[in-house]
Each structure stands twice: as structure tokens, then as C-alpha cells.
A and B are shown apart, each in its own frame.
Chain A
Amino acid sequence: MRAYAGLFRRELLLAVRQGGEIGLVLGFFVLAVVLFPLGVGPEAEVLRRIGAGIVWVAALLAAVLSLDRLFAADYADGTLDLLALSAMPLEGVAAAKCAAHWATTGLPLTLISPCLAALVDLEAQATVLLALGLLIGTPALSLLGAIVAALTLGARRPGILSSLLVLPLYLPVLIFGAGAVEAGIAGTGARPHLLLLGAVTVAALPLAPVAAAAALRQALD
């Protein structure tokens, strides 16, 4: 447990001190949302209708963009080999890195999402649902992303490859997350969507570190 906390702390420190990586992801997230009104027009009606979907798609893309931070640097400089040699199981390494990745991408995205909801003219209730959905769903993005990030270590063009691999896996999160806001606006009840979103995260929580560790093992062979 101490090793887990230590690794988590190391990842957080690296993310914070290594030249504003959190800021880059957040900047991309905001910019991606801002592009949509410029593309589809500024009518509040249209934006309100598609706003939640826009924010969720932007969150997905921001998560994909930050995946290479999970393992790539540690793979390149050999830290990952040392972590594999340590007493901590690779599943634990993957879980700690997922937690840190979520704390530096999913959590900031969730915290800033009310501002973006204002940009696309969502009402207060829809804003709460959007933030709640992101809070529940973004851990799944980090967990599923860790599998793909580990699989593409050492591949040619890992960035474009990992987005091709991971976006189909993200589909349920997008559907339940954006669906929750939509159902909230339509008044049909957002609860089942949020519960299903939670189910995806809860299922990914134990399974994804195992798969990511398997992928790491074959990358380090």
C-alpha cells in the first residue's frame, strides 16, 4: 500500500512539476468545445440541444490525447523495467498510474465542465448532471486508456494508433454520459444512465489493471 501511495505521489508530482501538462489537456478540452459553436453556429437552441454531447466528446478526445503520458516516458527511460522488478505487482503499478492519470486529467476536466456547460447554455440541472457524469465516467476513460497505452508501447506512431484502438472502447461511456444529461433535460430520469455509467467504471476498476499489466508484461519482455 505504501508503494502504491508512493507511486501515486510520484506521478502527481511529475504531472504538476513537468511544465503544465494538466494545463495542456485542459486547454485542449476547452478549445475543442469552443470550436463547435464556431462550426454549427451560435444559436442557443442548437447548442443547448447538442451541448452535453460536445462536452463529452471533447472529454474523450482530451483523455485520448493524454494517454501517452501514462507509460511512454517511463518505458523510454527504463523506469518501467525497475517498477516491474520491484516487489509491487504490475497490476498495482497500472492501478496507481491510472489513479494518478485520473487525478490529473479526469478530475480537472470534471471541475472545469460547469464553465463549459455555461458556454453551451446548459441549465443548472443539466450542468450538475454533466459534472456528475464526468465524475463517474472519467475514471473508466483512464482505466480503459491504460490498457491501450500499455499495448501501444514501442509501436510505430503510438498516438494515432491508440486513438483508433481506444475510441471504440470509450463508446459506452460516451453514450451513458451524454444520455444522462439528455434524459435529465427531457425529464425522463437520468438515474439509470448514471448507474450504468457507474457500472462501466466499477467493472473496469478491477479488470483494466489486470489487462494493462498483461499488456505491460508483453511490452517489457
Chain B
Amino acid sequence: MFAYLANPARFMRVSGRAWRFVAASGIAALAIGLYLALAVAPPDYQQGESVRIMFVHVPSAILAEGVYYLIALASFVALVWRHPLADVAAQAAAPIGAAFTLVCLATGSLWGKPMWGAWWVWDARLTSVLVLFFLYLGYIALVNAFEDPARGARAGAVLALVGVIDLPIIKFSVNWWNTLHQPASILRMGGPTIDRSMLVPLLVMTLAFVLLFAALLLLRMRATLNERKARALRLAAPPRRADPVSTGAAPVLR
């Protein structure tokens, strides 16, 4: 399938039909999931109503990390096989992953204030998600730091691979650091098992988040490819008389 989609024109054709379907099913799953999470699922006996934050927090945490691994995988494919769409996918996924990480941090903070009495605690998991957010920011900054977009894509690919090797080491070190400083007070959510009345909404929400991520990813990839096509057409067009007044700004050549 990957070889089949290696042709950007073919990808545009297939994704043009696919993304609507994925987005529609994602929105449907989100609607069902939100209904289950907000109306059907019972309040927790300890956490009360604020347990409902978890239905957004956990899926975004799963995607925050999953998207980074996806970026690393796409970067590997881009570096090894020079698949023309792998770079596009990695770059398109990065801001979405960063947004999920931010949602994860924000919802966690909202949940932490009533539960732990603080917006932020230096818990190992919180800290490693924060570091993940900075890894995303670094990746996005590096990709956009070059005049030549191809150069940025390759630099980003190398960085993503370095990051994915380092991520487990960072997580281990943060765990190590945390257990050293506050061994007795590691805060955990709920018990070891989660009741079915909460598990089902959680799974539906996770599915909805994955589908919406896929739809956004396809949409962003399509936008990138269209942008490239537009730029190529602009550069190939015969030079026009410079007319900064009618365009409102000086023409941007990149």
C-alpha cells in the first residue's frame, strides 16, 4: 500500500475520498464518546465528577506519545526508502501531536488542582510529558528553520530518530529522579482496574481521537502537497510585472 501511495497524485485522489469518511466517523465516535463520558458514565466514588476529565486526558496522552513514534517511523521510512510522502506525513503530524501533548498537560493540570491541590506536581509522568512537548517544539522549530524545505525535512528526520532513541532514556531518568525525591507519595489514578462503565467510554473516546487525528493528518498532508503544487506553478509561470499594491504585500518567493 505504501508503494502504491508513493505517487503524490494517486495519494491526493485516494485521500480526497478517504479523509471525509475518516473525519465523519471520527466526529460520530466523538459524539457517542462524549455522550457516554459526560452523561452515562457514573461519577467516581473518590474523584466525583472530575473523573470525566480523564476521558479527554487519557486519549490525548496516548496520542501525544503515539504520534511521536509515528513521526519517528515516518522519518525512518523517509531516510531509508526516500518515500516521497513520509516527510510530508512526519511534518504534518508534528503540530497535531504537540497539540495533543498540550491538551494532555492542560487537562491533567485541571484535574490535578481539585485532586492533588496543585496545578503542577513534579511527578515523573508529568515531567516526561512536558519533555515530550519540548521535543515536539524542537522538531517543529528545526523543520521550519531552513530556507530549503527539503533540508529542514531531512534534519527533522534525523532529529526525530535521535529523539525516539533518547525518549526511553529520558523517561527512565525522570522516573529515577522522581523516586529519589518523593518515594512514598507517588500519585496514581484510581485502582489497578477500571470499571467497565468507565472503560467503554474511554475506549470510544480513544477511537474518536485516533480517527480525528487520522483525518487531520490527511487534511494537513493534502494541504502541504497542494501548497507545493501551487509554489511549483508559481515558480514555473512566466514572470509578471511586480504589482505590490494589488496583492497587498510584496511577492514572497521561496
Name A's B-contacting residues (CB within 8 A).
147-148, 151-152, 154-158, 161, 164-165, 167-169, 171-172, 175-176, 179, 182-183, 196, 200, 203, 207, 211, 214-215, 218-219, 221
Contact = CB atoms under 8 A, between A and B. Distances in A.
Contacts of B177: 175, 179
Contacts of A167: 134
A161 B145 contact: yes
A151 B170 CA distance: 20
B242 interface: no
Report the interface size class on chain B. 20 to 34
Given A203-B169, A218-B155, 6 more contacts: A155-B145, A164-B137, A165-B159, A168-B138, A176-B176, A182-B180
Interface string B125-167: 0000001001101100110011100010011001101110110
Contacts of B134: 164, 167-168
B145 A175 contact: no
5 A-B pairs with least C-beta separation: A172-B173, A155-B145, A218-B154, A165-B138, A175-B177
Contacts of B138: 161, 164-165, 168
A3 B92 CA distance: 42
Contact of B169 (A165, A200, A219): A200
Given A164-B134, A218-B154, A176 B145 contact: no
Contacts of B180: 179, 182-183
Contacts of B169: 172, 200, 203
B135 A215 contact: no
B170 A155 contact: no
A221 B79 CA distance: 14
Interface of B: 79, 131, 134-135, 137-138, 141-142, 145-147, 151, 154-155, 158-159, 161-163, 165-166, 169-170, 172-174, 176-177, 180
- Among A156, A172, A200, max chain B CB count under 10 A is at A172
Name the prevailing secondary structure of the B interface residues.
helix
Nearest to B177: A175
A151 B159 contact: yes
Nearest to B175: A175
Contacts of A215: 155, 158
Contact of B141 (A164, A183, A203): A164
A206 to B, nearest CB: 12
A148 to B, nearest CB: 8
29 contacts: A147-B162, A151-B158, A151-B159, A152-B142, A154-B151, A155-B145, A156-B145, A157-B145, A161-B145, A164-B134, A164-B138, A164-B141, A165-B141, A168-B134, A168-B163, A168-B166, A169-B162, A169-B170, A171-B174, A172-B166, A182-B180, A196-B173, A207-B165, A211-B162, A214-B79, A215-B155, A218-B151, A218-B154, A218-B158
A211 B158 contact: yes
Nearest to A163: B138
Contacts of B163: 168-169
A154 B146 contact: yes
A168 B177 CA distance: 15
